[in-house]
Homo-oligomer: A and B are copies of this chain.
Amino acid sequence: MATDLEIARAATLQPIDAIAARAGIPEEALIPFGRFKAKIDQRYARSRTEGAAGRLILVTGISPTPAGEGKTTTTIGLGDALNAIGRRTMICLREPSLGPCFGVKGGATGGGKAQVAPMEEINLHFTGDFHAITAANNLLAAMIDNHIYWGNALGLDTRRIAWRRAMDMNDRALRSTVASLGGVANGFPREDGFDITVASEVMAIFCLARDLDDLQARLGRIIVGSTRDGQPVTARDLKADGAMAALLRDAFAPNLVQTLEGSPALVHGGPFANIAHGCNSVAATRLGLSLAELVVTEAGFGADLGAEKFLDIKCPSAGLAPSACVVVATVRALKMHGGVAKADLGREDVAALRRGVVNLARHVENMQGFGLPVVVALNAFTTDTPAEIAAVREAMAALGTETVHCTHWADGAAGATALAEAVLRRIEAGEARFVPLYEPALPLAEKIRRIAQRIYRASDVQIPGPVAARLKRFEEQGFGHVPVCIAKTQYSFSADPTALGAPEGHVLPVREVRLSAGAGFVVAICGEIMTMPGLPRRPAAETIGLNVEGEIEGLF
């Protein structure tokens, strides 16, 4: 069977100006990066986004399992199918991070016939956006230590520096470090560490900012630490916001690429869905809505994490309201939720599937709770049996939700036409009544509780005294109105990654809260979360290389 890379390489891509023309983007707004990538001029983008009329379709998924769900692949397949049936559609995706490319995962540009291209370039440096974000993050870090070195006029408490350095790499050695060692010339030693770039607040800001002014204002609001008497010190106080915005200026323009079937796709920004909000940039989504009749976009991890944040953080902040929601599942993954081991997924097991489908059902109910019409996309594997598919259909029908078995991986647009038609029926019926889960005025602790109870079906939250006091303090500092970004395991509705299916009655333990004042949310850390991954025993990097043609091999 052909690998994703082989399929991608065999495709004939159109010049990016032809794709732009198809999307209605004038040539003078196009900033080419090679023949098959372009950025869209920000002045043009800004001129478009008032009064945008497109409808927004959110693609989300069940709680992820090692079996894989194919959310990105389905987003691309759906977009291709909508275009194929004559609906002018833009696909909006996150940019891949370099770290996972060299780790377990390989690329993150879809799969089979449902891919965005050029695959190798998007997966590696693309147009350099993440490098710009890394540089902006680390310039601020350097300016913090430099400020302390030269006399610390702002009185930063070196024990309370909240700003970590960033690198777009899976590198566990950098999680926890001591910096400024080696003597007087190197500064004041202090504990430090690196997050992967996609987990940085700069990434979140980049993805939530409406325009360059908003970007710089948000960068200025970043709280880097505090004085000994607890007063916050910001990036603005350090005069770092201007240079950070300068570093990000060109990156902030959305990137245009194409699918293997020639659909236009905006691939821009890519925050983690745990410590950050897990969706592509507001700038790209708004541009897409101004250009197309329909925009298909995805949110990271399962719907409890990515979609909840999409709906409670990104949409309210950007003034967006989705018209429909697609929840992606696979028979294999649902069987894992029903207790089947990965090695046994090839065997029909309707009983296990019925046990596992509760995970899908709850995600669907949650999305319905936001006022969204839902369609379930069952991403086909060759091992799926009619009885298994029927069992999913039946469970979903009980929720008033249609299930479409999709074969876009193997068949491209043709494999997702039924899904596209199902989604269109729900949109055109005008059923969406989007309403976020909570109002800005709800106290921060109550926002956490509401997410825990309504989305995770926890019986309660456990917020230790010092954490509660910190939330109060954020409210006193004027940040009570911001949304909450929950950082917890993506593998379960609970904070316990082994509790598959649809656990309920659990208690969500809030271990720590952090204010991302620039991004405009409070992060509530529940259980262990990872802001800097490590490489596996046999990293994908070991098999990546150039062939004799100078082509890149080993990305998959």
Contact = CB atoms under 8 A, between A and B. Distances in A.
25 contacts: A34-B39, A102-B142, A124-B250, A131-B135, A135-B168, A135-B169, A139-B541, A142-B173, A143-B539, A143-B541, A149-B173, A150-B537, A165-B174, A172-B180, A173-B179, A175-B181, A175-B182, A239-B541, A241-B545, A242-B541, A242-B543, A242-B546, A245-B545, A245-B546, A246-B554
A542 interface: yes
Nearest to A170: B142
Contacts of A146: 171-172, 534-535, 539
Interface in A189-248: 192-193, 212, 216, 239-243, 245-247
List the number of copies, as a whole number. Answer: 2
A142 B125 contact: no
A550 B179 contact: no
A239 to B, nearest CB: 4
A63 interface: no
Contacts of A2: none
A552 interface: yes
Contacts of A31: 34-35
A541 B102 CA distance: 33
A176 B310 CA distance: 41
A187 B249 CA distance: 37
Contacts of A145: 171-173
A177 interface: yes
B178 A177 contact: yes
For this complex, into which size category does the number of interface residues on chain A fall? 35 or more
Interface string A151-190: 0000000000000010111111111111111110111000
Contacts of A247: 124-125
Chain A contact residues: helix, strand, loop or mixed: mixed
Contacts of A187: 172-173
Given A167-B138, A550-B42, A216 B32 contact: no
A132 interface: yes
A173 B161 CA distance: 13
| Most B-side CB within 10 Å, residue of A102, A124, A142 | A142
Interface in A31-69: 31-35, 39, 42-43
Contacts of A537: 150
Contacts of A174: 165, 179
Contacts of A167: 138
- 10 A-B pairs with the lowest CB-CB distances in the bound complex, closest first: A242-B545, A176-B182, A131-B131, A145-B173, A243-B541, A142-B171, A239-B542, A128-B128, A243-B544, A146-B535
